[in-house]
Amino acid sequence: MRRLLAERGLTVNRLGGVLGNVTAVTAGALILIFLLLVLTSDDPVAATDALLSGPVSDPTRVTQWLGDSATLMLTGIAVALVFRVGQFSLGAEGQVAMGALASGALLLHIGGTPGSWVVGLLVGALAGFAWGAVPGVMKAYGNADEIVSTLMLNYVALFFFAFAIKEWLQPPNAGFAVSDFYERNAWMPTFGESPVVPLSLVLALVLVIVVAYLLARTRGGFEMRMAGSNMRFAAAVGLRVRRSVWLSMALSGAIAGVAGAAIAQTETHRLILGLSGNFGYDGILVALLAANRPLLVPVAALAYGYLRTGGDIAQLTSNTPRELITTAQGVLILFVTARFTGAGARLRDLVQRLRARRTADSVSTAEVR
Amino acid sequence: MFLHDVVQNATPYILAAMGGLVALRAGVINIALEGIMLAAALTAVLVASSTAIPLIGVGAAIAAGVAFVAVLGLFHLHLKADLILAGFALNLVAAGGTVYVLYAATGSTSDASSLTAHPLSPIALPGIDAIPVLDSLSDQSVITYVALLSLPAVAWLLYRTRLGLHIRAVGESPAAVVEAGLRPRLIQWKALAICGGLAALAGVQLSMSTTTTFVRDMTAGRGFIALGAIYLGAKHPVGTFVAAIVFGVLDTLVTTLQIDASFPTDVVLMLPYVATLVALLVYARRATRRERAALRGAEQEATAAA
Amino acid sequence: MVDPLDTSAGSAGVASAGDPPAPRLQVEGLCKTYGTVVANRDVALSVRAGSVHAVLGENGAGKSTLMKMLYGVERPDRGEIRVDGQPVRFGSPRDAIAHGIGMVFQHFGIVPGLTAAENIVLGVEPTHHGVLDRAESRRAVQAVMDRFGLAVGLDDKVGEMSAARQQRVEILKALFRGAATLILDEPTALLTPQERHSLFDAIRQLTQHGTTVLFITHKLAEVEEVADDYTVMRAGEVTGSGSIAASSRTALVKMMVGDAVTHSRRASAPRGAPVLRVESASVRGGGGRVAVSDATVDVCRGEVLGLAGVEGNGQLEFIEMLAGLRPLAAGRATLDGAPLGGGENRRARSLGVAYVPEDRLAAGVAADVPIVENILANRIGSGGFSRFGRLDRSAMRREAEQLVERFDVRCASIEVPVGTLSGGNMQKVILAREISADPKLLLVAEPTRGLDIAACARVHEQIARAAETGVAVVTLSSDIDELLAISTRIAVFSAGRLVRVFEQVEQLSAAELGGAMLGIGGDAEREEAA
């Protein structure tokens, strides 16, 4: 077992090292945030307390944490997938909105039928697939930069979402942009009472495993990974590069679309402005925190979900304006990302050099390439 | 009137894009342009209001912009943080931080209208304001003139100065720069500083000219669009400048159309983005078509020679 | 071979009594370890001022590491470096440059998007308060070019230059900074014989001006031609040093490779039926210009067709067309009757074409991906090892182990990323990948670029064996000696045209082949003379 792990570059030592780094840094960042709150908030202790322990203080809060994390897991795995293929598609936000809109539009008509929630999710996936395929094809066949195209499509999607609700789905007596509530059969099932575990969490975990399997064990996933590692190589060795590019973006869109449908079908039970709630962009963060590795996405999603929920709670319970929490989140991410990719590497480098000095002294032969 | 507004609205796009271009050519993709613009916009209003002198506000804003971008530099260049992540994080910090500071300074979380505004006064250009079309250039803030000059300035910087040469070198080949005995990080720091200054001016234009106060989230995605302008402009000063102006036109169109209530707001707001997409497609299609035409030409040439 | 113009003996110029002058460069007890790999162990080096000193050795022998330490890119773990007798510590290339050491790398030292002039003055540009003084730059660079007799087009973008030109830019860069000691890393890897001679002439000119030249290489013939002294390295240690005049080739080879096999052989198979037919083919190159025009040739089973030509004369584009990476602009190409040249690599592969690209790292492998996946990528791409889309990983592992064994790839395990292998082993992985697909046509661009003698021999062995099993092989190389050693026929490209085909390679001499490469096509000749 150890040999298997060692061959894959995952020694027990290294895992321990990474975890140690993360703990140290998170602790440091939290101290900084506390200081920030002390300087600016009326009640820093309450705010920090809410931030740190809020999500677990109460079953309803845990429910929110789990729900947020499920969505983050979905958008996170969607983004991790495209990033692994070397495509910088930032379109999750728009795909979430389109998925929610498509599923909602359908469910408002067939919501009464039992099992319609499944159809809702499928339609969400289809809409997301299409919305992801557009920049995908533009890149694969037209070499159009995907950063720009997906960012533009996000805006288009969000405006279209608002337009569609206001124009077609808003009931006449509504004071703001919402749709009617979905009927019961359109709601996604949940487990338990307190806390309530949404099915979307299970769905997210399943999709994470599916993506991990796709990338590691299927031919299509292989081609995608090779394209992501070295596109010239992939093209020269006979792999289907163009297919990998657009298909990965489309599949990513599908997953994000499911996330959108899931939000509407689990939390809000209707379409409402701002439904995508930045989950798309946060999905990018989750993917990066997980270093684009599918199996680490749930961990990153739960951790970031905790932070997000904590922030919401801090805003509600202490007298801290939401924006301060947003700032604190930004600061924390800055610190965490520095540790993960940089200072940690320099530390390892230093340790290696010290170890190397010892090896150079000994007379034992080492393998020379 | 319309052209005048176009010039006024294009200014922040131009400045942010030019700043982003300098950083990009040095190999640093600055996703935090949004954040810099916001921070600078707020700083300008607050300082101008308390000192009653707009130009001091501008100066403070530039300092704020440079300080903000310095954080990005610190985390990416020295702590090896992921560039895109750090940029996003900084945008978060700016979005939240500016509202919080606004709240602390004015008690409002929506805008700074409670403060006495000291905006930049428009500068009239006597003589020019009599010529049609060109008169749109008159009655603009000093920032606009800086923006117009930024094209020759940035082009001159990149292609005629030592620093510019180093910037272009480090963006393409940091290893070569090291071998030449230079320090890539130092060069990138300088490029970032220039970027921060220009993006800060973009923010200043928003809060001290187009609007005469600070409103939360007033940058509304312009920082990202500026990035789009750089890519559309093929990462070259002239192309970037033109693309930024196009966005200025679209921006003004949107505002004009919004006043006309017959167009649904959301559709109107969508227009600039759809336009960019189309432009991207066309640009990409034309590039492939050029290649194919060249191939066909070769075919004819070859058969003729045979 | 003693050079009558040997200036090294007297270049120190000191005839006074007393201690002999300190060597220009001296290294003692130098050690460097990367992780668990000892790259340099107790290395000693002594370079006389004004001499040409060769550092000989295989890949992985530690030569590059030594050079990196001499140039300040790496710091030694232990040991001492002395310049003109004074101990020095180099914290960065700046320090090395300050001590008059200049290094000429193959790829890293230049910025492709800048012009030659800009590259040469990078870091020491003449300026007026920060503004580039272009006129002064030109003047100063021209002065250096005139002084040392090396010329390049100052306004040409370096990225579009041939490898030989790029190298010249690098040399000029070092000279422009007043390098008194020039380190050249595998300088002739990409040069034709004529360019090689120009380089050696330049080196001699340099030493006449008192410059000391240190160069790393594995090519013995060249060392004998131009070097005064040598130091041989193997497996991180110095195995011998001295003056070339006082040594013999066999002794040097022994110091370099111990007792390993180093002979390259030609395939000895009867020529079969023609399997590849190319008729009046024309191919477009980069920038839209016509790279190949009206080429006609047939290739038979069991033969190794070598494509010779000055770099940039169409051979590479020709092979890329056959590989399906570039479309045919005119003419026809068929493999066993099936049409080629449609510009689709997948199609070409399905017809039985295998392709080894010239740039290993850029297009030959995915560096951070394990060996097992690299070595089977082509077969997976054509549907192998998968049922209903699912990969059979245990079958993959078994096959990869077999291939690694068969092709003698030295690695810790097949799960290790390919990028950690040496160049030679990486090339073996690529060849294993391509040959194991049972191709009808094997295309190999630059089979042994950057490889040492032993690795070269092994690669040539694989090519010969492939041909002997009936594969038609087309290879291109900028190394004339290599082509002469392994080809059964040689086709010469000049200015995009296939000008000659030599049938009797055994009787062909390097001079004749070199001449044919330049012979027709006045443009090529003029370009060379520049």
Give residue limits of the domains in chain C. Answer: 24-100+180-257, 274-352+439-529
| Domain harbouring A304, CATH code | 1.10.3470
Q: Give contacts of A284 with chain B, Cβ < 8 Å.
A: 84, 88
Number of domains forming the structure of chain A: 1
How many residues comprise chain B? 306
Helices (H) and strands (E) in chain A, counts: 15, 4
Residue with tokens 């006045």: C522
- Cβ-defined contact of A144 to B82 (cutoff 8 Å): no
- Cβ-defined contact of A369 to C37 (cutoff 8 Å): yes
What confidence category does residue C472 fall into, taking pLDDT thresholds of 50, 70 and 90? very high
More confident residue, A319 or B16: B16
Mean pLDDT for B95-109 is 85
Tokens of B86: 């750090």
According to the model, what pLDDT value does residue A2 have? 46
Q: Residue A78, Cα to own-chain centre: how many angstroms?
A: 7
Distance CA A106, CA A120 (A): 7
What confidence category does residue A366 fall into, taking pLDDT thresholds of 50, 70 and 90? very low
Q: Give contacts of B306 with chain C, Cβ < 8 Å.
A: 280, 282, 293-294, 330-331
Residue B101 and residue B202 in contact, taking contact as beta carbons nearer than 8 Å: no
Tokens of A368: 């020379």
From residue A305, alpha-carbon distances to A78, A265, B113, C181 in Å are: 16, 19, 36, 59
Asked which of A73-77, A351-355, B282-286 is least confident by mean pLDDT, the reply is A351-355
Query: Which residues sit opposite C494 in a β-bridge?
Result: C497
Distance CA B101, CA B106 (A): 8
Closest to B176 (Cβ–Cβ): which among C92, C110, C132?
C110
According to the model, what pLDDT value does residue C6 have? 36
Residue with tokens 């594995």: C218
Tell me: pLDDT of A343 over 70.
no
More confident residue, A335 or A346: A335
Mind listing the domains of chain B with CATH numbers? 2-259 (1.10.3470)
Q: Do domains C24-100+180-257 and C274-352+439-529 have the same CATH topology?
A: yes
According to the model, what pLDDT value does residue B228 have? 81
Distance CA C205, CA C228 (A): 14
Tell me: pLDDT of A369 over 50.
no
Cis peptide, bond prior to residue C193, ω within 30 of zero: no
Contacting chains of C (3 CB pairs or more, <8 Å) are A, B
- Cβ-defined contact of A368 to C366 (cutoff 8 Å): no
Domain range for A281 = 63-314
Distance CA C116, CA C158 (A): 6
Using beta carbons and an 8 Å cutoff, which residues of C are at the interface with B? 71, 73, 92-94, 97, 103, 105, 108-114, 118-119, 122-125, 127, 130-132, 173, 177, 280, 282, 284, 288-290, 293-294, 327, 329-331
Query: In this complex, how many residue pairs, one in chain B and one in chain C, have their CB atoms less than 8 Å apart?
Result: 106
Distance CA C463, CA B187 (A): 48
- For residue range B122-131, list pLDDT tens digits in order: 888 877 777 7
SS (H, E, C) C60-113: CCCHHHHHHHHCCCCCCCEEEEEECCEEECCCCHHHHHHCCEEEECCCCCCCCC
| Residue in chain B nearest A146 by alpha carbon | B280
According to the model, what pLDDT value does residue C12 have? 42
Mean pLDDT for C339-349 is 90
Q: How far is A280 from chain C (nearest CA, A)?
A: 29
Closest to C393 (Cβ–Cβ): which among A217, A230, A237?
A217
Tell me: pLDDT of A16 over 90.
no
Residue with tokens 């040598």: C230
Task: Examine residue A206 and state whether it is found in any structural domain, yes or no.
Answer: yes
Residue C141 and residue C70 in contact, taking contact as beta carbons nearer than 8 Å: no
Q: Give contacts of A328 with chain B, Cβ < 8 Å.
A: 96
Mean pLDDT for B186-195 is 96
Residue C418 and residue C426 in contact, taking contact as beta carbons nearer than 8 Å: yes
- For residue range C85-125, list pLDDT tens digits in order: 899 999 888 888 889 998 887 666 789 889 999 999 998 88
| Residue in chain C nearest B170 by alpha carbon | C111
Please name the CATH architecture into which domain C24-100+180-257 falls: 3-Layer(aba) Sandwich (3.40)
Q: A 165-194 residues with CB below 8 A of B?
A: 166-167
Distance CA A359, CA A368 (A): 14
Q: C 140-169 residues with CB below 8 A of A?
A: none
More confident residue, B235 or B164: B164
Could you give the angle at the alpha carbon of C301 between the alpha carbons of C297 and C305, nearest 5°?
Answer: 45
From residue C237, alpha-carbon distances to C30, C62, C185, C213, C249 in Å are: 10, 8, 18, 21, 20
Residue C74 and residue C249 in contact, taking contact as beta carbons nearer than 8 Å: no
Asked which of B28-32, B141-145, C36-40, C240-244 is least confident by mean pLDDT, the reply is C36-40
According to the model, what pLDDT value does residue B234 have? 82
- Residue A120 CB-half CA count within 13 A: 36
Closest to B267 (Cβ–Cβ): which among A151, A163, A288?
A163
Distance CA B96, CA B98 (A): 6
Cis peptide, bond prior to residue A55, ω within 30 of zero: no
SS3 B163: helix
| Residue in chain A nearest C324 by alpha carbon | A236
- Cβ-defined contact of A356 to C323 (cutoff 8 Å): no
- For residue range B17-66, list pLDDT tens digits in order: 999 999 999 999 898 999 999 999 999 999 999 998 889 999 999 999 99
Burial pattern B75-92, b for ≥16 Cβ within 10 A else e, equals bbbebbbbbbbbbbbbbb
What confidence category does residue C253 fall into, taking pLDDT thresholds of 50, 70 and 90? confident
Residue C30 and residue C179 in contact, taking contact as beta carbons nearer than 8 Å: no
More confident residue, C528 or C332: C332
- Cβ-defined contact of B169 to C111 (cutoff 8 Å): yes
What confidence category does residue C523 fall into, taking pLDDT thresholds of 50, 70 and 90? very low
- DSSP-H helix ranges across chain B: 2-25, 33-51, 54-73, 83-106, 142-160, 162-172, 174-179, 184-205, 222-232, 237-259, 265-305
Tokens of A183: 């009927």
Q: Give contacts of A239 with chain C, Cβ < 8 Å.
A: 377, 380-381
Q: Give contacts of C294 with chain B, Cβ < 8 Å.
A: 302, 305-306
Residue A366 and residue C38 in contact, taking contact as beta carbons nearer than 8 Å: yes
According to the model, what pLDDT value does residue A364 have? 31
Q: How far is A228 from chain C (nearest CA, A)?
A: 9
- Cβ-defined contact of C363 to A230 (cutoff 8 Å): yes
- Residue A164 CB-half CA count within 13 A: 19
CB atoms within 10 A of CB A113: 13
What is the predicted ipTM? 0.78
According to the model, what pLDDT value does residue C4 have? 37
According to the model, what pLDDT value does residue A363 have? 30
Distance CA C488, CA C65 (A): 38
Mean pLDDT for A291-298 is 90
- CA dihedral angle for residue C397, residue C401, residue C404, residue C406, rounded to 10 degrees: -130
According to the model, what pLDDT value does residue B42 have? 95
Tokens of B247: 């966005």
Give residues with Cβ within 8 angstroms of A337, minimum separation 6: A288, A289, B75, B81, B82, B85, B86, B89
- Cβ-defined contact of A163 to B264 (cutoff 8 Å): yes
Phi, psi of C99 (to 5 degrees): -95, 15
What confidence category does residue C524 fall into, taking pLDDT thresholds of 50, 70 and 90? very low
Closest to A217 (Cβ–Cβ): which among C390, C416, C425?
C390
Closest to B277 (Cβ–Cβ): which among A153, A281, A289?
A153
According to the model, what pLDDT value does residue B157 have? 95
According to the model, what pLDDT value does residue B301 have? 46
Closest to A159 (Cβ–Cβ): which among B94, B232, B270?
B270
More confident residue, A320 or C472: C472
Task: Examine residue A326 and state whether it is found in any structural domain, yes or no.
Answer: no
Please name the CATH architecture into which domain C274-352+439-529 falls: 3-Layer(aba) Sandwich (3.40)
Tell me: pLDDT of C130 over 90.
no
Could you give the angle at the alpha carbon of C94 between the alpha carbons of C89 and C98, nearest 5°?
Answer: 75
Per DSSP bridges, beta strands C489-494 and C304-308 are parallel
| pLDDT cut 90: percent of chain B above it | 43
Asked which of A342-351, C209-218, C502-511 is least confident by mean pLDDT, the reply is A342-351
Mean of all residue pLDDT scores within chain A: 81
Contacting chains of A (3 CB pairs or more, <8 Å) are B, C
How many residues comprise chain A? 369
Residue with tokens 């198979």: C269
- For residue range B131-173, list pLDDT tens digits in order: 777 778 888 889 999 999 999 999 999 999 999 999 999 999 8
- Cβ-defined contact of A360 to C38 (cutoff 8 Å): yes
Task: Examine residue A31 and state whether it is found in any structural domain, yes or no.
Answer: no
What confidence category does residue C525 fall into, taking pLDDT thresholds of 50, 70 and 90? very low
- For residue range C352-378, list pLDDT tens digits in order: 999 999 888 888 999 889 999 999 999
| pLDDT cut 90: percent of chain C above it | 37
Give residues with Cβ within 8 angstroms of C347, minimum separation 6: C324
Tell me: pLDDT of A7 over 60.
no
Q: How far is B262 from chain A (nearest CA, A)?
A: 13
Residue C419 and residue A9 in contact, taking contact as beta carbons nearer than 8 Å: no
| pLDDT cut 70: percent of chain C above it | 91
Distance CA A330, CA A316 (A): 19
Q: B 227-246 residues with CB below 8 A of A?
A: 227-228, 231-232
The answer, for A235 touching chain C at a CB cutoff of 8 Å, is yes
According to the model, what pLDDT value does residue C510 have? 78
- Cβ-defined contact of B173 to C280 (cutoff 8 Å): no
What sign does the dihedral A215-A220-A223-A224 (CA atoms) show?
negative
Residue B227 and residue B31 in contact, taking contact as beta carbons nearer than 8 Å: yes
- Cβ-defined contact of A338 to B287 (cutoff 8 Å): no
According to the model, what pLDDT value does residue A27 have? 72
Mean pLDDT for B272-294 is 70
According to the model, what pLDDT value does residue B290 have? 59
